[in-house]
Amino acid sequence: MNLPDKFEVLIITLSDRAHRGEYEDLSGPKIREKIEEFFSSAGWSCNIKLTLIPDDSVILRDLLIGSGNIYNIILTTGGTGIGPRDITVETVIPLLTKEIPGIMEFIRIKYGTEKPNALLSRGVAGITGKSLIYTLPGSLRAVEEYMTEIVKTLKHTIYMQYGVDKHGNA
């Protein structure tokens, strides 16, 4: 299987307040910046779409079901905590055909060692349809931390996703 000529990336921000216009979404644009840097350094081309929705599981589920075979990578920001409106994880998990728990566990442990509140994030990663999906917290600092770690494995993850053998025969 070959890699796409141009990767399609969807970034979804879940935030009731940003959706109502009470404040500007900063997390989605930060993810876009990190993804653009990754694709540029990898020498790959991508289209990135940002969307902002309220914390609503029906809207998120419908968006993901409609996007799982269109986008190669989907990243969400927001809704991974334990608050009453944090619905991202519960919405995403049933849609996963494969879960990739290691990356999110590593991030929680790495950053939770110094900042125990980081251990409260419930973010998940996996595959839905043909899409890699990562669910990140909504804070700008957490997005920076998560993306720093995700991009370290993203190239290999993409190769694995598309069955490209980069291990060599040595």
Summarize pLDDT for 29-61 with one digit per residue, the tens.
Answer: 999 999 999 999 999 999 999 999 999 999 999
Tell whether 125 is covered by a domain. yes
Task: Give every CB contact of residue 4 below 8 A, 6+ residues apart in sequence.
Answer: 72
The rounded mean pLDDT for the chain is 95
The CATH number for 56's domain is: 3.40.980.10
Q: Give the structural domain span for 53.
A: 6-161
Tell whether 59 is covered by a domain. yes
Buried residues in 115-143 as b, exposed as e (16+ CB within 10 A) = eeebeebbbbbbbbbebbbbbbbbbeebb
Summarize pLDDT for 57-78 with one digit per residue, the tens.
Answer: 999 999 999 998 999 999 999 9
Predicted confidence at residue 33, as pLDDT, reads 98
Is the pLDDT at 167 greater than 90? The verdict is no
Tell whether 169 is covered by a domain. no
Collapsing DSSP to helix, strand or coil, 115 comes out as coil
Tell whether 26 is covered by a domain. yes
Predicted confidence at residue 12, as pLDDT, reads 98
Tell whether 170 is covered by a domain. no
Is the pLDDT at 169 greater than 60? The verdict is no
Tell whether 168 is covered by a domain. no
User: How many distinct structural domains can be found in the chain?
Assistant: 1
Summarize pLDDT for 97-151 with one digit per residue, the tens.
Answer: 999 999 999 999 999 999 999 999 999 999 999 999 999 999 999 999 999 999 9
Tell whether 166 is covered by a domain. no
Predicted confidence at residue 168, as pLDDT, reads 57
Record the pTM: 0.95
